[in-house]
Structure 1
Amino acid sequence: MNINDIFKALGDENRLRIINLLSKGKLCVCDIEAILMMTQSNVSRHLNKLKNVGIISSEKKSQWVYYSIDNNFVNKHKMLYEYLINSFNNIPQFITDNENFEKYKNREQSCKNPSKSNYLPY
């Protein structure tokens, strides 16, 4: 994991927004897509970039792939990770994303039970 590549990956607001969400726990693509109101292809592209540099990892369960912050990244770059998480708490877009995350996780509907659109009504 090259530090230059890590900072390139962190240089995109959408990837930072994804890291913010994943700091709260494991999520699948459809969860991230719904919370951030992004397309599946856009979310997948950003997840691949973050995974390729070692910031996140994935775990396949049945037909879903769940993403989370890679523990090796946190251990190796503890100060950077803490800086990111603390910074997210002061940025309006990230605060809104956190609120949307809370609304989304309290819904009965998910990608496993998609009775309606997963997008949150704002």
Structure 2
Amino acid sequence: MDLIEIFKALGDENRIRILNLLIRQELCVCEIETVLDMTQSNASRHLNKLKTSGIITSEKKSQWVYYRVDNKFIEENNLLYEFIKNKMAENTQLLRDIETLKKYKNSNFTCEQLREDKSQVLKYLREQCNNN
């Protein structure tokens, strides 16, 4: 893994927000775009940059592609990985993203529902986040 490419990939707020979620769990692109309220094309572009740099990996399961932090990246860059995790725990926006992820996961919405009516899921998440 090229250190310059890793830092280029980490040099974008949206990619940091995506990585923040993937550190916690494996997610489908539709879940990432919903939790972070971004378009599918934007999420896919950022995921591709993270994947190309070797930070994340993906696996196709049925019709969905799931992303997670690459174990090889963690092993080869453990100090950097731990530093990033610690710094993420200090960032207000990233902490809000984690709370939104928890609310999404507790909602029991599925990727199929996201495909059918993403606006319904986003409305639910906004209501849940505003209640806190």
TM-score, structure 1 as length reference = 0.95
| Deviant stretches of 4+, over 6 Å | none
Partner residue in 2 for 1:121: 126
Distance in 1, Cα, partners of 2:49 & 2:83: 20
The one-letter code of the counterpart of 1:121 is R
Identical counterparts, % of pairs? 53
**Long gaps (5+) in structure 1:** none
Distance in 1, Cα, partners of 2:72 & 2:26: 16
**Long gaps (5+) in structure 2:** 128-132
The one-letter code of the counterpart of 1:55 is I
Any residues of structure 2 matched to 1:31-46 within 5 Å, and which?
31-46=31-46
Partner residue in 1 for 2:19: 19
Distance in 2, Cα, partners of 1:109 & 1:12: 29
Say which SS state the counterpart of residue 57 (structure 2) adopts. strand
Distance in 1, Cα, partners of 2:83 & 2:90: 11
Partner residue in 1 for 2:66: 66
Q: Deviations over 1:11-68 (max 9, x none)?
A: 0010000000001111011000010000000000000000001000000000000000
- Higher helix fraction (1 or 2): 2
Distance in 1, Cα, partners of 2:42 & 2:117: 21
Distance in 2, Cα, partners of 1:27 & 1:42: 16
Distance in 2, Cα, partners of 1:106 & 1:41: 26
TM-score, structure 2 as length reference = 0.88
Q: Deviations over 1:80-116 (max 9, x none)?
A: 0000011111101001001101001001212133464
CA-based RMSD = 1.1
The one-letter code of the counterpart of 1:109 is F
Partner residue in 1 for 2:57: 57
Distance in 2, Cα, partners of 1:108 & 1:116: 14
State the number of aligned residues. 122
